[in-house]
Amino acid sequence: MPPLFRTLVFLATLSAATLAHASTLADFDFSGNVSEAHFKEIISELRCLVCQNESLAASQAELAQDLREEVYTMMDAGKTDDEIVEFLVARYGDFVLYDPPLKPSTWLLWFGPFVLAALALFVMGFAVRKRTRGQDGDLTSAQREKVAALLGDETKNRES
Amino acid sequence: MKRPLMLIPAIVFAVMAVLLAVGLNLNPREVPSPLVGKPVPEFELARLKDPQATLGSADLSGRVSLLNVWATWCVSCRAEHKLLMALAKTGEVDIYGLNYKDERDAAMRWLQVYGDPYVANAFDGDGRVGIDWGVYGTPETFVIDSQGVIRHKVIGPLSAEIVKERILPLVRQLNSRS
Amino acid sequence: MTPELGQFALILALCLAVIQSTLPLIGTYTGERHWMSLGSTAAWGQFTFLSIGLCCLIYAFLDNDFSVAYVASNSNTLLPTMYKISAVWGAHEGSLLLWVFMQGAWGVAVAAFSGKLPETVRARVLSVMGMVGVGFLLFMLLTSNPFERLYPAPLEGRDLNPLLQDPGLAIHPPMLYMGYVGFSVAFSFALAALLGGKLDAAWARWSRPWTTVAWVCLTIGITLGSWWAYNELGWGGWWFWDPVENASFIPWLVGTALVHSLAVTEKRGAFKSWTVLLAITAFSMSLLGTFLVRSGVLTSVHAFATDPGRGIFILTFLCIVIGGSLIIYAWRAPTVTGGGRFDFVSRETLLLANNVLLVIVAALILLGTLFPLIYDAFELGKISVGFPWFNKMFISFMPLLILVMGIGPNTRWKRQDPAELARRLRLAFIVSVTLGVVFALPLLPGASPLAGLGIGLAAWLVTTLTTSVVDRLRHKRGLAAIWRDVTVQGRSYYGMVLAHLGMASAVVGVTLVSLHGVEKDVRMSPGESLEMAGYTFVLEGVEKHQGPNYRADRGKVRILRDDEEIALLMPEKRTYTVQTKPMTEAAIDIRPTRDLYVSLGEPVGGGDWSVRVYYKPFVRWIWFGGILMALGGLLAVSDRRYRLSVRSRRTIDATVTPAAQEASG
């Protein structure tokens, strides 16, 4: 199937599921075992599969409501956060996690920025050191004057 | 080149461009199932046509089979239905159905009007079993081998091309192995 | 007829863009002055035809001409006039036309305000801008023609996406594009300088105001975008690290680095090749953002309708523009030498650190945005990188950046005595650490280590800026001298102060709203009330309301504090007639230090409604910060230096032209 068509068919499929019915968080009862804040925290870090890029907390899709109920039931039964996450990952894969897991295939993601920072610091230190030993300026005074004239700069000596 | 380091930005960009070109041919919305390669999830549901009888994981092993997740509210299920009918007629593979978050009456009517390609249907009214199967967009079709292990998953409607190039070869291969 | 006229105008604009991109450049090599001067003429012509094109599309919208496919899919006879105009850029094709139109506008601006530039430089700059214009015009005409006809014409249009029917969104895309496209000016100056082999302080001074204006536009655009998401998406979020948001934030970060790096290059002649690289990168990131948003390689809440055919076109275009310019960079930049000597402790070093940090943050956001794609391309499966990751990374690097931001303005160029610097910043340090500790220790209600960090950093910015201002003025004796000093500092200095204060304001806002925001989802019957964060919310009732192109359930929520009414909010749940999409229209009570945000959910049976209520402390400070930054940028651009050079150009012309030609020819 050509990719465009594939995408269109996909959208058609998914929209049907999205429009079917909408529901809210208001239906949950937080007077029991389940803390509202903790519940919201968990579902806001889980991604809705049907939607474009929305969390389970924000999504209006029916599947999202089903999964919210599932999470609620598990929390009510005293399952730990890890168990809940494991349950979802076993069924839908790492895709459901907004917070990607740390494993060899995500090392680039988690450590990349710090490696880059270390590298940048090193290069920067090197560049600065070179400059602290260099000659003062690459412009001769004649060139400076020309630049000043070019810019119509009457305040060239004012360095702030 | 006086200072080859100056080429680094160009190289970084080249790598990125290749990646983006590859990315153009991927579908970001299709999430592969972690269930592929694993035994089918445990379940036991009432059948659609005969609520007294059940359909469960045990029924899905012993022979190579397909499990098709469908619903009457799903527009593209209608689109793939003809293909399922044709596939059922060839008798190459048993097709089971998981009627997902549907109304029993509507589903029965659908099968009467458009034909029934399924050996049997499990009726999953609240979608609870669908969650165990990792269903997120109907229709979805699983290929299950004779050991009851999921071998492949098609997300979205089947097309003649998918049936011919992905499903049938896999079914034949699995059949010949067992 | 009008659509054909529009299309014809676009084709003519393309022809002129081709002329603009070739002849002046050839002229710089052959020394043909007439060819060089063609650049301005072509830029004006191109802009004229682009304006005609844009007007034709606007007319088609106002005229409800549904025989134009784009109008039919994005408008409706019932759509209010204001949104008919903003619908012009509501979807892919039209937004692209707006993009090219702005590209043309920047071209004309360069043609008009660069009289002081040597002819060769101007010719090269306009040529490069012309090339970018050719790319985008081709892209539009070949893959995304906004004037394509639909036959037979439908009687009614499919209406504008209800999400986009918001005043914030009417101005958000134009500002954003002004910024994206504005970076093409800095890019063109950089390429022109590379081509001419003349990278000097003059080049930096010429690019600086253009870059700052583009940066200001992008700042406003992003601020408006965040504000729109907050108002319109109905869940009170102001930033989600969605790919589309990142696509605008990355060029902003690189642009911010560029604005600072240009200052060093202009004042001290240092970091030239780095500045050029940043100028190329800033625009490249704008282009990359366009690709990500329009090609469908990533999923996003606000993505355009996507089409891989377009993706291939933009990717090719990216390769030519970015790849080409980076190769020119690798070829020409090594010849650039020098810059002034400076000590390890000096403003140069601090600005370099600022640059490096900004670029690292931009790079990590790019990594996070592209990582799902990388993961998939290596067949590792699908993965999501969402706000938890971005927040963690952002919090790892931002404090460092802010630390540097505080020291930089207090440091001298070339050489700074470290002991003297430490002495000068001692008070600021003590004040901000104290404030940070106070907010971190659990003495105050709601204090936490993160709150301490945020408040401490904001305090650091404010106190160090104060130190800098006071320092600059206190050496003088007498009021008159101080006053002269106030004026002599120049607006670019005060612009910096304002922009940095904007950062402090945004930090306070982000910290407090993230840590102390409260939200509640409840089921309410009419007459029922809810207590939250010291406020009482009473749902008086829900009534039907008919809008121009939608039906709505309009809730009436009275807010009381200590039994005194402070606001009556009317959140709506709208269903737009054509697209039948349910839309949540939140109602907000605004105070400087907090927002009360109410959105109406669904009817949940028995006359009950689900209602979402949010208490958002200091959320306005985020956008206020954005506005301050933009104002700071504008103030800096209005600095005397830039105006002077325009005023005195006539007297210098005579001396400059031969010198410049000798230098670059």
Task: Confirm if C494 and C547 have CB atoms less than 8 A apart.
Answer: no
Chains that touch B (3 or more CB pairs under 8 A): A, C
Task: Confirm if C174 and C93 have CB atoms less than 8 A apart.
Answer: no
Task: Confirm if C570 and C557 have CB atoms less than 8 A apart.
Answer: yes
- Whether A10 shows a pLDDT value over 60: the answer reads no
- Whether C306 shows a pLDDT value over 70: the answer reads no
Most B-contacting residue of A13, A15, A19 (CB-CB within 10 A), to test interface: A13
Confidence of residue A24 (pLDDT cuts 50, 70, 90): low
Query: In this predicted structure, which of A24-28, B131-135, C283-287 has the lowest mean pLDDT?
Result: A24-28
Confidence of residue A87 (pLDDT cuts 50, 70, 90): very high
Pairing of strands B94-100, B65-70: parallel
Q: Determine whether the interchain pair A6/B31 forms a contact, defined as Cβ–Cβ distance below 8 Å.
A: no
- Report the C-alpha gap between C369 and B117 in whole angstroms: 43
- Whether A151 shows a pLDDT value over 60: the answer reads no
Helix axes C479-488, C449-474, angle to 10 degrees: 120
**Closest partner CB to C610 (pick from A24, A113, A133):** A24
Average pLDDT along chain C: 88
CA distance to partner chain A, nearest, from residue C32 (Å): 22
Note the pLDDT tens digit of each residue in C233-255: 777 788 989 888 999 999 999 99
Selection from C507, C538, C523, C510 nearest residue C612 by Cα = C523
Q: Does C399 touch chain A (CB under 8 A)?
A: no
Q: Does C308 touch chain A (CB under 8 A)?
A: yes
Q: What percent of chain A has pLDDT over 70?
A: 67
- Report the C-alpha gap between B19 and B32 in whole angstroms: 20
- Quick one: pLDDT at residue A131? 79
- Quick one: pLDDT at residue C638? 87
- Quick one: pLDDT at residue C359? 96
Q: Does C493 touch chain A (CB under 8 A)?
A: yes
- Report the C-alpha gap between C328 and C25 in whole angstroms: 15
> Where does residue C426 rank: exposed (0-12), middle (13-18), buried (19+ CB within 10 A)?
exposed
Average pLDDT along chain B: 90
Residues in chain B: 178
Which ipTM score applies to this complex? 0.88
Which residues between 85 and 144 in chain C have a beta carbon less than 8 angstroms from any beta carbon of chain A? 116, 118
Selection from A73, A132, A83, A40 nearest residue C414 by Cα = A132
- Which of A140-154, C411-425, C453-467 tops mean pLDDT? C453-467
- Whether C605 shows a pLDDT value over 60: the answer reads yes
With residue A68 as reference, give the H or E element that holds it. helix A62-76
- Whether C46 shows a pLDDT value over 60: the answer reads yes
pLDDT (average), residues A39-55: 87
> Where does residue C337 rank: exposed (0-12), middle (13-18), buried (19+ CB within 10 A)?
exposed
- Quick one: pLDDT at residue C566? 92
Find the closest chain A residue to C200 by CA distance: A147
Q: Does A151 touch chain B (CB under 8 A)?
A: no
Question: Which residues in C have their CB inside 8 Å of a CB on B?
Answer: 273, 277, 280-281, 284, 291, 295-299, 308, 311-312, 315, 318-319, 322-323, 326-327, 329-331, 333-335, 370, 372-374, 376-377, 381-382
**Radius of gyration, alpha carbons of chain C:** 27
Q: Which long-range contacts (CB under 8 A, 24 or more apart) does A129-135 make?
A: A129/C344, A131/C270, A131/C339, A131/C341, A131/C342, A131/C348, A132/C341, A132/C342, A132/C343, A132/C344, A133/C341, A134/C338, A134/C339, A134/C341, A135/C338, A135/C341
- Report the C-alpha gap between A160 and C412 in whole angstroms: 8
CA distance to partner chain A, nearest, from residue C142 (Å): 17
B-chain residues near C327 (CB < 8 A): 10
Most C-contacting residue of B26, B29, B136, B155 (CB-CB within 10 A), to test interface: B26
Task: Confirm if C463 and C432 have CB atoms less than 8 A apart.
Answer: yes
Q: Is C597 helix (H, G, I), strand (E, B) or coil?
A: strand
pLDDT (average), residues B149-156: 92
pLDDT (average), residues C607-626: 93
**Which has more confidence, C357 or A49?**
C357
Confidence of residue B178 (pLDDT cuts 50, 70, 90): low
3-state secondary structure C549-595: CEEEEEEEEEEEECCEEEEEECCEEEEECCCCCEEEECEEEEECCEE
- Whether B176 shows a pLDDT value over 90: the answer reads no
Confidence of residue A146 (pLDDT cuts 50, 70, 90): low
Note the pLDDT tens digit of each residue in C62-101: 999 999 999 999 999 999 999 999 999 988 899 999 999 9
- Whether B72 shows a pLDDT value over 50: the answer reads yes
User: Which is it for the CA torsion C457, C458, C459, C465, positive or negative?
Assistant: positive
- Report the C-alpha gap between C466 and C471 in whole angstroms: 8
Task: Confirm if C342 and A132 have CB atoms less than 8 A apart.
Answer: yes
Residue with tokens 């001067």: C37
Note the pLDDT tens digit of each residue in C138-148: 999 999 899 99
CA distance to partner chain A, nearest, from residue C300 (Å): 5
pLDDT (average), residues C610-623: 93
- Quick one: pLDDT at residue C244? 87
Q: Does A13 touch chain B (CB under 8 A)?
A: yes
Chains that touch A (3 or more CB pairs under 8 A): B, C
- Tell me the whole-structure pTM to 2 decimals: 0.90
**Closest partner CB to B6 (pick from C315, C334, C372):** C334
What are the distances in angstroms from CA C389 to CA A113, C67, C111, C219, C372?
12, 47, 45, 24, 13
Confidence of residue C607 (pLDDT cuts 50, 70, 90): confident
The distance from CA B169 to its chain's CA centroid, rounded to whole angstroms, is 15
Residues 6 or more apart whose Cβ sits within 8 Å of residue C236: C230, C517, C519, C586, C597, C599, C612, C614, C616
**Closest partner CB to B73 (pick from A9, A20, A67):** A20
- C274's tokens: 């780095």
Q: Determine whether the interchain pair A91/B34 forms a contact, defined as Cβ–Cβ distance below 8 Å.
A: yes
Find the closest chain B residue to A18 by CA distance: B137
- Quick one: pLDDT at residue C648? 44
C-chain residues near A108 (CB < 8 A): 367, 371, 374
pLDDT (average), residues C281-303: 81
CA distance to partner chain C, nearest, from residue B134 (Å): 14
With residue A128 as reference, give the H or E element that holds it. helix A107-133
- Report the C-alpha gap between C403 and C464 in whole angstroms: 10
- C180's tokens: 């994206």
Task: Confirm if B74 and B107 have CB atoms less than 8 A apart.
Answer: no
pLDDT (average), residues A98-106: 93
Residue with tokens 């702030």: A160
Residues 6 or more apart whose Cβ sits within 8 Å of residue C232: C163, C166, C168, C169, C585, C586
Q: What percent of chain A has pLDDT over 90?
A: 38
Count of Cβ atoms closer than 10 Å to residue C232 Cβ: 18
Count of Cβ atoms closer than 10 Å to residue C297 Cβ: 29
Q: Determine whether the interchain pair B127/A66 forms a contact, defined as Cβ–Cβ distance below 8 Å.
A: yes
Note the pLDDT tens digit of each residue in B77-87: 998 999 999 99
**Which has more confidence, C492 or C44?**
C44
